[in-house]
Amino acid sequence: MATETTAGTASTSTCVVDGSAVGMPQLCFDWWPNQIFWLIVTLVVIFFFLSRIALPRIAAVLAERQGTITNDLAAAEDLKAKAVEAEEAYNKALADARAQAQDIVNQTKAEIKAELDDATAKADAEIAAKAAEGEEKIAEIRANAMESVKDVAKDTAKELVSVMGGKADARSITAAINARMKG
């Protein structure tokens, strides 16, 4: 690549002629001590800054972040468990409430039924009583009517007999009417 390489014996002037490089400046050994000296200084300074300040600090930050993330994950896990627990409690409460509501419904139904039965029974009894009373009255009325019929028949028969010129005694008329009415 380079047309001529300058040997280490040359002074600065052999590497640079008229402001431009002769061959490869990389192989100008006049400059090597200077470069090596400043490189060592640079490396020592960078090494100092990195190993004393930057790297421990970054390691600490990374560790801290890892810790924070772990803690947050644990907290999230905790909260999740709590949420599940709360959901379970809610579901349980819901089921309980449902059961209770069912109970109340059943109880109320039973109560209403009992009341209804009671009322029905009472009403039945009343109706039966009323019916019996009515029947009694009807029987009474019928008996009265029979008596009235008997009386009317007796009177009518007596009148009839007397009109026809006979004379009938009350006893025989009554017996005749009773026999007729039975027949």
Single out the residue of 169, 168, 173 nearest to residue 150, CA to CA. Answer: 173
Residue 68 binding other proteins, by CB under 8 A = yes
82 backbone dihedrals φ, ψ, rounded to 5°: -65, -40
Closest distance between other proteins and the C-beta of residue 48, in Å? 9
Tokens of 20: 């431009």
Residue 21 binding other proteins, by CB under 8 A = yes
The residue from 5, 7, 10, 61 that contacts other proteins (CB under 8 A) is 61
Residue 24 binding other proteins, by CB under 8 A = yes
The residue from 7, 41, 139, 181 that contacts other proteins (CB under 8 A) is 41
Residue 20 binding other proteins, by CB under 8 A = yes
Using an 8 Å Cβ cutoff, are 152 and 180 in contact?
no
Sign of CA dihedral 134, 135, 141, 144: negative
β-bridge mates for residue 16, sequence order: 21
Closest distance between other proteins and the C-beta of residue 59, in Å? 8
Residue 71 binding other proteins, by CB under 8 A = no
Residue 2 binding other proteins, by CB under 8 A = yes
Spatial distance between the Cα atoms of 46 and 140, rounded to a whole number of angstroms: 134
Query: 15: which residues sit within 8 A by CB, 6+ positions away?
Result: 6, 21, 22, 23, 25, 28, 30, 31
Residue 42 binding other proteins, by CB under 8 A = yes
Instruction: Give the binding-site size for other proteins (rule: CB under 8 A).
Output: 49
Using an 8 Å Cβ cutoff, are 23 and 3 in contact?
yes
Residues at the interface with other proteins (CB under 8 A): 1-3, 11-12, 15-16, 19-28, 30-43, 45-47, 49-51, 53-55, 57-62, 64-65, 68
